[in-house]
Structure 1
């Protein structure tokens, strides 16, 4: 799907030449170990680089220059996956073969080089006023999770399940760690990222592979570094915990966390994906059909599987007085799967949904990048046909046997005061 070219030790370029799109998409992914401090620093850094640079000193000038490139897109972001923190530079520009102008790609790559490698500095560090403003924006973003009760409930559940683990660390960091950032410490983080992070660069579009590789090496002279290796976090089993909290709100949030014996890349990974779909991943699943539709115990009820942490979650919005009924009924749906109560229709629809989701993701360039980035670390080359065949081969018996090994680890219930 992508052709891999080694740029330097720890720096790899992946190019997919295709006529599917009229644009050329880029994604630079810088990866390092996930900690509260690294997440905080790098999230603020993404905001600061997004604001301005040495050539375009104001955000307005920066935005205007992108608009002049036929509405090109260039932005920075951060995220996490397993035990790693990722810093992204993503860009998209119209392929110049569809334009009268023939210097658009060169100008875009120069813009990317400027945005990443020529920051807006004063006395050798970032500007204090820009850092202060972006710190405030990130602080507000982190604090906003409290206002979104569903996100807050999930965040609290993760803290209960993995109090010292990467799973409970926000990709944005913490308010406390953001507060300690200075213009100097942020510039040190920036320099360390450029010189130490593992880098994966993705390009999708109607391009010549060798020519594009030469352009990247010309604009971005990354040096050798020790490749960062993603590790599976070893977490000691936590005793079962049922936590109730109250805030000023109406709808109750019942979130349940289950441990599973399957991590990303395990042989039973496809089985776990289908199991999640049957349990609560889709509108035909047991949680939706029985907890929400049949019994009317929830405004919503669904499950999700976080493969890098080997965790399965159920999230539901309920009336507080239905807490016990919903709690019991949710567990009954998993027990029904353990008992082999899986219809051919549930199995067929789940497999079809998984395949459709994969195809839909690959309909856009960004989706192709993200899917390949996710699956490239597996033992065998990724193809749509290969993964569709893996899902199709999953049997009801395999799902039941796996479901029997899933254990409820923690429950978090958030409700209104006085309920």
Structure 2
């Protein structure tokens, strides 16, 4: 059920008795902006770890413990051209603890009071966030960003993204921003951004679990959100401007396992006509242990420690990642591209195709019993104004033909290659 609380404030509730917890999301949404990415990361970190009433992480933890072991977190995310800060609260479904209806109602009320506190009443100092908290959390974020570079698989992914989004700095930096941009964030600048986000961002509130719709609505109405006219996007999806020549970069490091990664433009977007054929293509190419990359590059040729593909239907990006011995790079690149050509030419068996379809359907059926996956479906419906019901989803997947997958493979265009060359 969707309820418009105020202009720019939307509530989505899905009542379900099959989960042992009640999950609440409060999302602040805005268009992706390179100047805001790092601030959103730091803002989430500060609001997650302290507030006026709970000035320390210990105080926060004690309050959550009192609420029968509830959990809370703040994070950042992206869907295409939209970026968000998400406040997540999980609390137990009281009937599994034998709580009375009155006690359960008090518990849910306490959850929204907690969210009200951490979102609207941060720990402040002199006309900004508490300076000690600001400095500590900024250092923590910078340390995390630097540590990501020590993970060579992450490093290769970061460098590939920079190549692919060479003309789009906001996406080149990724959802967590960069150390350079984080260094530039001041306390006063972040606090001004916090107040602006609070007053102008689109707010989507999602609740899933064994709840009373009227009770949730009343609790949400008590949150001090003002009406707002949020910025409208021309398209929620990110459309990449293709390069005429493939961009390449190589980095030498003393690592035992080299990383050879590929970025392809794959302009097929979520819920479009060809979306389901694209899902099958990706699964067949490299998204599962029954894929062609796994079978041919890793198993048959023994040329990769891992070989996998990832498809983003919100940005039209297909990534292939491999871990290899450095001397095998030319052969691996040719084999990766050959798998795509083979799919385009129909060089895969009916058994492979049927197994891929069965796995996709099985994964979807499993997701239908996953609370987080169902929350994700609620978010997609709100952001993109379109719902893919299970009936529609299964019908579309089952109607994908071999010829559809062959045709969709022709849309894949290599754009960037990054090679992390080891010893």
Structure-2-length-normalised TM-score: 0.94
Show the counterpart of 1:261.
267
Q: How far apart in 2 are the matches of 1:304 and 1:366?
A: 20
Asked if 2 retains the 8 angstrom alpha-carbon contact of 1:10 and 1:228, the reply is no
1:313-339 deviation line (CA, Å, top 9, x unaligned): 110000111111111111111111011
The counterpart of 2:200, out of the listed 168, 187, 196, is 196
Residue 15 of structure 1 and its aligned partner are, at CA, apart by 0.0
Show the counterpart of 2:117.
114
Asked if 2 retains the 8 angstrom alpha-carbon contact of 1:31 and 1:228, the reply is no
Residue 299 of structure 1 and its aligned partner are, at CA, apart by 0.4
The counterpart of 2:335, out of the listed 308, 329, 336, is 329
Q: How does 1:88-103 map to 2 (within 5 A)?
A: 88-97=86-95, 98-100=98-100, 101-102=103-104, 103=106
The counterpart of 2:215, out of the listed 211, 214, 217, is 211
Structure 1 residue 150 and structure 2 residue 150: aligned? no
Q: 1:5 to 1:89 in 2, by over 3 A?
A: same
Residue 231 of structure 1 and its aligned partner are, at CA, apart by 3.6
The counterpart of 1:45, out of the listed 43, 63, 68, is 43
Residue 409 of structure 1 and its aligned partner are, at CA, apart by 1.5
Could you list the runs of 5+ residues in structure 1 that have no partner in the other structure? none
Show the counterpart of 1:172.
176
Show the counterpart of 1:243.
249
**What secondary structure is seen at the aligned counterpart in 1 of 2:242?**
coil
Residue 291 of structure 1 and its aligned partner are, at CA, apart by 0.4
Q: How far apart in 1 are the matches of 2:207 and 2:313?
A: 26
Q: How far apart in 1 are the matches of 2:252 and 2:368?
A: 42
Deviating above 6 A after TM superposition, structure 1's stretches of 4 or more consecutive aligned residues are none
Residue 380 of structure 1 and its aligned partner are, at CA, apart by 5.1
Residue 352 of structure 1 and its aligned partner are, at CA, apart by 2.0
Asked if 2 retains the 8 angstrom alpha-carbon contact of 1:195 and 1:225, the reply is no
Q: 1:380 to 1:111 in 2, by over 3 A?
A: closer
Cα RMSD, aligned residues only: 1.7
Asked if 2 retains the 8 angstrom alpha-carbon contact of 1:372 and 1:382, the reply is no
Q: How far apart in 2 are the matches of 1:365 and 1:222?
A: 30
Structure 1 residue 26 and structure 2 residue 29: aligned? no
Asked if 1 retains the 8 angstrom alpha-carbon contact of 2:201 and 2:228, the reply is no
Asked if 1 retains the 8 angstrom alpha-carbon contact of 2:163 and 2:248, the reply is no
Q: How many residues align?
A: 415
Residue 298 of structure 1 and its aligned partner are, at CA, apart by 0.3
Could you list the runs of 5+ residues in structure 2 that have no partner in the other structure? none
**What secondary structure is seen at the aligned counterpart in 1 of 2:260?**
strand
**What secondary structure is seen at the aligned counterpart in 2 of 1:116?**
helix
**What secondary structure is seen at the aligned counterpart in 2 of 1:271?**
helix
Structure 1 residue 338 and structure 2 residue 344: aligned? yes
